[in-house]
Each structure stands twice: as structure tokens, then as C-alpha cells.
Amino acid sequence: ELVFCGLGEPLERFPAVELLARRYKRRGGGPVRVNTCGQYLAHGNEASLVKLARWVDCLAISVNAPDADTYDSLCRPSQPGAFDRLLAFVRVARDAFSSVLLTAVSYPGADLEACRTLAHRLGLPLGVRPYDAAEDGRTAERPPLTQT
């Protein structure tokens, strides 16, 4: 599986993601997944996102919160309305991609049941990622995502 992810938004480099996914698929590569924060539509990129579905098998979208207030507090977006943009992104992705997974981190105090309810309301599964509070700031090897 080829996965585009990182400490940032891989779709900020949309042309590179599309080019690499297309080449990988054309050369007989396996599944392609993009892990995203779901803010790509903030720049009016709906048509590009739909086009990407031809080359990407799965989008894993980090919701991390069940509502706008919690999302703003946790993610500290630079512009207002980020949670609404996230939900718009989820709806476009759900209709365009064959597989969409919402994800949330099990940080201390996370309301994972409310995140599951949101995912269910959107008709999608929720994957829960473990919280890593490494004191040295390095990311430890992560266990696989669990879906609920």
C-alpha cells in the first residue's frame, strides 16, 4: 500500500500526490491511501478531489472531534469555519471515493463515542488511532488502526 501522510496536509501538494498515485497505479501498484485533515476544499478544489478518486483507493480523514467547538479547541485552525469545511470535504469524498474512513485520536478526554456517532451519521466507519505522548517528541512506531 502506498500511503500519503505526514505532519501536515499531503493534499497541499496535490499535483505531486496525483502524479505519484497515477504512476504507481499504471505500473501495477497496489492500493493507494491518503491520510488527510480534510481542509483541501477550503480553496475550492472539489473537482480536483473528485478527479483524484480515479487513482486513490481510500481517504482516511482525521476528524478528531465530534463538533466545531471541540475541533477548534483541539486543532486550532487558522480560519473560522474549519469544522464545517471538514464536513463538506467528508461529504464530497464519501460520494467520490470507493473507501472513506474517518479517524480520531484517543487523546486524554477524547469523546470517541461522540466521534463514532458523527461517523455513523455520515455513513462512514471510524478508525481510532492511539495517542502517543512521547516526552521526547519523536513518534513511536504506531500499531494498526482499529475500526469501530
Residue 145 has pLDDT above 60, yes or no: no
**pTM, entire model:** 0.85
Q: What is the pLDDT of residue 39?
A: 84
Q: pLDDT tens digits for 107-144?
A: 888 999 999 999 999 999 999 999 887 633 444 444 44
Q: What is the pLDDT of residue 139?
A: 47
Q: What is the pLDDT of residue 147?
A: 56
Which residues contact residue 125 at a Cβ distance below 8 angstroms, ignoring those fewer than 6 apart? 101, 102, 119, 147, 148
41 vs 20: CA distance, rounded Å: 21
What is the CA 47 to chain-centroid distance, rounded?
Answer: 18
Torsions phi, psi for 140 (to 5 deg): -75, 160
pLDDT-based confidence at residue 148 (cuts at 50, 70, 90):
low
Task: Tell me, letter by letter, the H, E, C secondary structure of the chain.
Answer: CEEECCCCCHHHHHHHHHHHHHHHHHCCCCCEEEEECCCHHHHCCHHHHHHHCCCCCEEEEECCCCCHHHHHHHHCCCCCCHHHHHHHHHHHHHHHCCEEEEEEECCCCCCHHHHHHHHHHCCCCEEEECCCCCCCCCCCCCCCCEEC
Q: What is the pLDDT of residue 135?
A: 36
Q: pLDDT tens digits for 62-109?
A: 999 999 999 999 989 888 999 999 999 999 999 999 999 999 999 888
Which amino acid, 72? Answer: D
